[in-house]
Amino acid sequence: MNIYRFIYNITMFRSRRFIIKNYGAEFWKKFKAESRIVFKKVLLELPDIGKSIFSFNYAYAPSYIAWYKSMRNLGLSAKEADSLMWKMNECMILTVPKIFLRSAGRIYLESFRKKAASHIEHQKNGNLHENDWLIEYRNLNKNSFEIDIKRCGFITLAKKYGAEGMLPGICAVDYIVAHYMGNGFSRTKTLGDGDDCCNCRYEIKGKCPLQVPAEMK
């Protein structure tokens, strides 16, 4: 099983109980069937962006598009779909015991920071796929760094599949990840809101409040 299918399957498995409890068994049945069709279509058409520091993020794209479009087709509003996708991401993250998430958070950000310079070098040489992310990187101190995202692979694919409405929901995932992994994270601008970049500030050791959507059931 490749990473794309793993993300889809484990998240659906972990979210099943919540969705049935809050939206009903019939909704779950239709959602499962429709999202799988969309997922397979997107996955079949999805180009490989190669070895990138954003490859793991990119692997979520077929699932996000499939879930969002299926939720909307089944009658959920954009905000309701965002909230449910938020919960599904939380269910996915909490597959890992919290004690291990803290260690994983530090390891992940340290690795991401080290690879950022290489990613920018590929940018300068024009070696990035058109679906890959374009960034600016600034090291602040041993614990903190900033990344401005100038181009986002999620936005590129969302526009292709008419799923731009999913962007607020998936942008919120950064806060879920940082909260449970024990990292600091903040942002005042996002491309999804029409800003010139996503100005992300990370702290390897820090705190990030869990921002639960108001529409969450």
For the chain, which residues make up each domain, given as ranges?
3-203
Question: For residue 162, how many C-alpha atoms fall within 13 Å in the half-sphere facing its CB?
Answer: 5
* Digit-coded pLDDT (tens) for 82-122: 999 999 999 999 998 888 898 888 898 999 998 998 899 88
CB of 62 closer than 8 Å to CB of 42: yes
Quote the percentage of the chain above a pLDDT of 90: 78
Specify which residues 144 forms β-bridges with.
203
Which band of pLDDT confidence, cut at 50, 70 and 90, is reported for residue 216? low
**Which pair of structure tokens corresponds to residue 169?**
């929901």
Per 3-state DSSP, the chain is made up of helix, strand and coil in percentages (nearest 5) of: 60, 10, 30
CATH node for 3-203: 3.90.1520
* Digit-coded pLDDT (tens) for 156-197: 999 999 999 999 888 889 999 999 999 999 999 999 888 999
Q: Whole-model pTM? A: 0.92
* Digit-coded pLDDT (tens) for 132-144: 999 999 999 999 9
